């Protein structure tokens, strides 16, 4: 497994490449910001031309799969289009939901307000379905699993917001970009506040698992992306304090 500053290689062959990207990278070219750092560009030195078959938000970390040939691109794109791909995300949210599981079927329209957010629009929106599961509570946060059936822009964030929940460090949908600091979650912390660095200061949303059918062999394959270092640091600290680990809690739901 080759470690890069922008990504980690989870799997690769002549047809596909599966990467675990850091937060802050676009998956492919963006019309709003053509000069923004991109994962496909960063990985092209190692793999050559890559064909994007799906997208995850720039600020989301985790699994991205690319095709390496035009035929693989066609086959994989159809799988995403036909909802044959299983996607699992993990998120750390502010507060505690009143439910253990939640099925959300709310139509969404991108760029639906002055802040360019995706918003619920039952009349003009496109079908969007997400299933949520509560993985664990660690006040003042909760770990949530999201399984989107569709792939609308900002779908998970918009569906959570519509149900009164905001992902940690998401100023766009939660209105709260407050970072996670050890001093604020550990009562016995006695470090120097002036020298403290946040454990996590970016959107706490991670594309954790992806299941696809290999475009050439037809084999059903599941890939899992370990948390990035900042999100894993938060997980470890909250597990120590509250005994709730989203990685082990999630196995019961799979």
Compute CA 132 distance to the chain's CA centroid, rounded to the nearest angstrom.
13
Residue among 40, 57, 170, 230 flagged as catalytic: 57
Q: List the Cα angle 163/150/13 in 5-degree steps.
A: 130
User: In the chain, what percentage of residues exceed pLDDT 90?
Assistant: 81
Whether pLDDT at 3 is above 50: no
The top-level CATH class assigned to 7-242 is alpha beta
Six token digits for residue 169: 């460090």
pLDDT band at 66 (very low <50, low <70, confident <90, very high): very high
Between 109-113, 177-181, 188-192, the lowest mean confidence (pLDDT) is in 188-192
* Mean pLDDT calculated for residue range 133-150: 96
pLDDT band at 65 (very low <50, low <70, confident <90, very high): very high
pLDDT at 174: 85
pLDDT band at 24 (very low <50, low <70, confident <90, very high): very high
User: In the chain, what percentage of residues exceed pLDDT 70?
Assistant: 96
* Mean pLDDT calculated for residue range 172-184: 86
Say if residues 62 and 191 touch (Cβ distance below 8 Å). no
Give yes or no: 57 in active site.
yes
* Mean pLDDT calculated for residue range 165-182: 90
pLDDT at 253: 41
pLDDT band at 250 (very low <50, low <70, confident <90, very high): low
The residue ranges of every structural domain in the chain are 7-242
Say if residues 207 and 62 touch (Cβ distance below 8 Å). yes
Calculate the average pLDDT of the chain: 92
CA end-to-end span of the chain? 25
pTM attached to this predicted model: 0.93
């Amino acid at each position: 497994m080759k470690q890069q500053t922008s990504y980690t290689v989870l799997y690769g062959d002549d047809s596909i490449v599966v990467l675990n990207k850091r937060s802050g990278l676009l998956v492919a070219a963006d019309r709003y910001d053509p000069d923004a750092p991109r994962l496909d560009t960063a990985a092209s030195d190692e793999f050559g031309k890559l064909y994007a078959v799906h997208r995850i938000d720039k600020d989301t970390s985790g699994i991205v799969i690319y095709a390496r040939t035009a035929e693989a691109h066609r086959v994989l794109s159809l799988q995403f289009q036909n909802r044959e791909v299983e996607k699992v995300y993990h998120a750390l949210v502010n507060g505690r939901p009143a439910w253990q599981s939640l099925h959300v079927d709310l139509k969404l329209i991108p760029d639906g307000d002055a802040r360019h957010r995706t918003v619920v629009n039952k009349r003009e929106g496109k079908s969007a379905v997400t299933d949520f599961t509560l993985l664990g509570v660690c006040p003042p946060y909760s770990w949530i699993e999201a399984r989107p059936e569709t792939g609308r822009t900002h779908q998970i964030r918009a569906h959570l917001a519509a149900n009164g929940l905001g992902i940690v460090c998401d100023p766009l949908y939660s209105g709260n970009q407050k970072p996670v600091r050890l001093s604020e979650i550990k009562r016995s912390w006695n470090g120097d506040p002036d020298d403290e660095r946040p454990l996590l200061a970016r959107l706490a949303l991670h594309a954790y698992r992806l299941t696809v059918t290999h475009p050439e062999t037809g084999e059903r394959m599941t890939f899992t992306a370990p948390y990035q270092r900042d999100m894993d640091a938060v997980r470890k600290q909250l597990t120590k304090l509250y005994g709730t680990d989203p990685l082990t809690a999630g196995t019961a739901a799979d």
